[in-house]
């Protein structure tokens, strides 16, 4: 499968972000083409080559064999509200067209007052019938999680769920016993030594599945089945080329009970496909692509990485991770 891909013409991109998110202000990655179309490789800088091999496996699946047959053609989307002030949070939610918002909280140790104001603003923007969820990215301990969730739940007039309030499965289970909102597991699944075997059913009510770091659409579907929980699919901050795989997963899952976190192009100031093909939500939903999206040359030129050192860094990284993947063929979907 690796031999079928045109790695020699891989293209490195750099896209400024609208707001600092996950500690970065520029999103970078690599695009390359295979017999089934284009794919994207974009693990974050702090991921080592072994972890990044699953990200490359997703790209290999996409550009060599494509995706499974979809069972739905449209996916409901939540808007993503980063750690911004309440006025900006209100604007993001109000103009998104989405009925659900996922709000970043716990951005720093003293963020509670800011988090409450942000949640209140988003609830006001969505109205009483909207769904509000928050994501703490596993930074709280149990005591802090229980306290903050109660306050955030009140500010939201009821949270749909809280994503990864604590780091470990044991902590999630303890929090789940003490709070009213549903608990969703994200990092506990995708960062597990063996995501196929991680037991989250007693620790969470919802499984957040991201196919890009899990090794592809088909592997993510097996992980979702093994989790045994209702699922929401979420982005890994890809451009439209990589985001297509996440939508393919959401389209192919037998059951999809929650709006998905796939409206993240709003965080990027550019894209790698043309404007008409760009996967930006319309009226709160996105279409499920039937094939990988093609890179648009004009769009590509506008986001081409102009730093030679970073370009070389990414291409060298791609070569290293290819070598890792070649020695772990179990990650490659066939």
pLDDT, tens digit, 9 for 90 and up, residues 88-115: 999 999 999 999 999 999 999 999 999 9
Give the pLDDT of residue 312.
98
Q: Are residues 142 and 84 in the same domain?
A: yes
CB 326 within 8 Å of CB 2 = yes
For residue 308, how many other CB atoms are within 10 A of its CB?
A: 8
Q: Are residues 56 and 20 in the same domain?
A: yes
Q: Any residues with CB less than 8 A from the CB of 27 and at least 6 apart, and which?
A: 14, 15, 17, 42, 237, 239, 267, 268
pLDDT, tens digit, 9 for 90 and up, residues 136-191: 999 999 999 999 999 999 999 999 999 999 999 999 999 999 999 999 998 888 77
Q: Write down the pTM of the prediction.
A: 0.94
Closest CA to 327 of 34, 47, 55, 53: 53
Give the pLDDT of residue 309.
98
Give the pLDDT of residue 317.
98
Q: Are residues 164 and 242 in the same domain?
A: yes
Q: Are residues 184 and 38 in the same domain?
A: no
Give the pLDDT of residue 249.
98
Does pLDDT of 333 surpass 80?
A: no
Give the pLDDT of residue 196.
66
Q: Are residues 92 and 218 in the same domain?
A: yes
Q: Are residues 314 and 244 in the same domain?
A: no
Q: Are residues 84 and 150 in the same domain?
A: yes
Q: Are residues 169 and 312 in the same domain?
A: no
Closest CA to 268 of 9, 61, 58, 40: 40
Q: Are residues 121 and 269 in the same domain?
A: yes
Q: What percent of the chain has pLDDT over 70?
A: 99
pLDDT, tens digit, 9 for 90 and up, residues 27-70: 999 999 999 999 999 999 999 999 999 999 999 999 999 999 99
| CATH label of the domain that carries residue 202 | 3.20.20.120
Q: Place 330 in a pLDDT band, splitting at 50, 70 and 90.
A: confident
Does residue 104 carry a catalytic annotation?
Answer: yes
Q: Are residues 13 and 80 in the same domain?
A: no
Mean pLDDT for the chain overall: 94
Does residue 102 carry a catalytic annotation?
Answer: no
Q: Place 197 in a pLDDT band, splitting at 50, 70 and 90.
A: low
Q: Of 74, 102, 104, 147, which one is the catalytic site residue?
A: 104
pLDDT, tens digit, 9 for 90 and up, residues 308-324: 999 999 999 999 999 99
The total number of structural domains in the chain stands at 2
pLDDT, tens digit, 9 for 90 and up, residues 227-242: 889 999 999 999 999 9
For residue 153, how many other CB atoms are within 10 A of its CB?
A: 18
pLDDT, tens digit, 9 for 90 and up, residues 258-303: 999 999 999 999 999 999 999 999 999 999 999 999 999 899 999 9
3-state SS of the chain: helix, strand, coil percent to 5? 40, 20, 40
Q: Of 147, 167, 210, 269, which one is the catalytic site residue?
A: 210
Residue 208 in 3-state DSSP? strand
Q: Any residues with CB less than 8 A from the CB of 229 and at least 6 apart, and which?
A: 185, 200, 201, 204, 205, 206, 207
Q: Are residues 190 and 143 in the same domain?
A: yes
Q: Are residues 156 and 222 in the same domain?
A: yes
Does pLDDT of 334 surpass 60?
A: no
* Structural domain harbouring 165: 74-287
135 is in an annotated binding site: yes
Give the pLDDT of residue 112.
98
C-alpha 68/C-alpha 59 separation (Å) is 14
| CATH label of the domain that carries residue 49 | 3.30.390.10
């Amino acid at each position: 499968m690796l031999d079928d891909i045109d790695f020699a013409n891989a293209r490195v991109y750099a896209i400024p972000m609208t707001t600092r998110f996950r500690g970065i202000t520029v999103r970078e990655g690599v695009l390359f083409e295979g017999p089934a179309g284009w794919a994207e490789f974009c693990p974050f800088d702090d991921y080592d080559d072994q972890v990044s091999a699953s990200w490359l496996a997703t790209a290999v699946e996409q550009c060599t064999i494509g995706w499974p047959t979809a069972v739905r053609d449209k996916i409901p989307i939540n808007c993503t509200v980063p750690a911004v002030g309440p006025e900006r949070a209100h604007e993001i939610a109000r103009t998104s067209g989405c009925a659900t918002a996922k709000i970043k909280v716990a951005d720093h140790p003293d963020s509670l007052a800011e988090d409450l104001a942000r949640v209140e603003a988003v609830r006001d923007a969505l109205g009483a019938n909207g769904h509000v969820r928050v994501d703490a990215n596993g930074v709280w301990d149990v005591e802090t999680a229980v306290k903050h969730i109660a306050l955030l739940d009140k500010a939201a007039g009821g949270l749909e769920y809280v994503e990864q309030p604590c780091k470990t499965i044991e902590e999630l289970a303890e929090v789940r016993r003490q709070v009213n909102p549903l608990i969703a597991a994200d990092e506990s699944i995708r960062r597990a030594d063996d995501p196929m075997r991680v037991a989250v059913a007693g620790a969470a009510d919802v499984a957040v599945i991201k196919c890009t770091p899990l090794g592809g659409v088909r592997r993510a579907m097996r992980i979702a089945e093994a989790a045994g929980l209702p699922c929401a699919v979420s982005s890994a901050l890809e451009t439209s080329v990589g985001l297509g795989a996440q939508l393919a997963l959401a389209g192919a899952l037998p059951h999809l009970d929650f709006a998905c976190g796939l409206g993240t192009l709003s965080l990027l100031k550019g894209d790698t496909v043309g404007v008409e093909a760009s996967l930006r939500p319309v009226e709160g939903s996105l279409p499920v692509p039937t094939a990988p999206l093609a890179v648009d040359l004009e769009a590509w030129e506008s986001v081409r990485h102009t730093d030679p050192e970073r370009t070389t860094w990414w291409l060298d990284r791609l070569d290293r991770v290819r070598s890792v993947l070649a020695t772990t063929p179990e990650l490659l979907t066939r």
